[in-house]
Amino acid sequence: MTQSSKIPQHDTDNPPLFKGDMIAKAIVISVTVSTINHTGKAVLKSLARHPLIVFGLGVTTGYFAHKYRKRLIKAGNQAADEGKQFVLRQRENLLDFLAENQDDADEQEH
């Protein structure tokens, strides 16, 4: 390998504008996201004041809830089953932990 091949090369299509290019990009992105977030809140507040739009959103939500009802029920049941299994595993782990502590306490007494 030659010395020049070890030196990292910049992307020729998008060369950095200056040393702080990464910081500048991060600042621009954060300002853009903040502006979109602020604007989005204002738009949602103004839309929420119009009863026809709220009604339309309700109808749309109802349509998709009806259309995907089997998937939604299946996902809800699956989440409930996983929650039950999680609680049972945690209960078993807690009982094991308490049994170990009881054994340790018995050993220290004797």
Contact 60, 53 (CB under 8 A): no
Residues with Cβ within 8 Å of 48's Cβ and at least 6 positions away in sequence, in order, are 54
Q: Alpha-carbon distance 83 to 108, whole Å? A: 37
Buried b (16+ CB within 10 A) or exposed e, 55-71: eeeeeeeeeeeeeeeee
Q: Residue-wise pLDDT tens for the chain (110 aa)?
A: 555 555 555 555 555 555 566 777 778 888 888 888 877 777 778 777 888 988 998 999 999 999 999 999 999 999 999 999 999 999 999 999 998 888 887 788 76
Structure tokens at 80: 């409930």
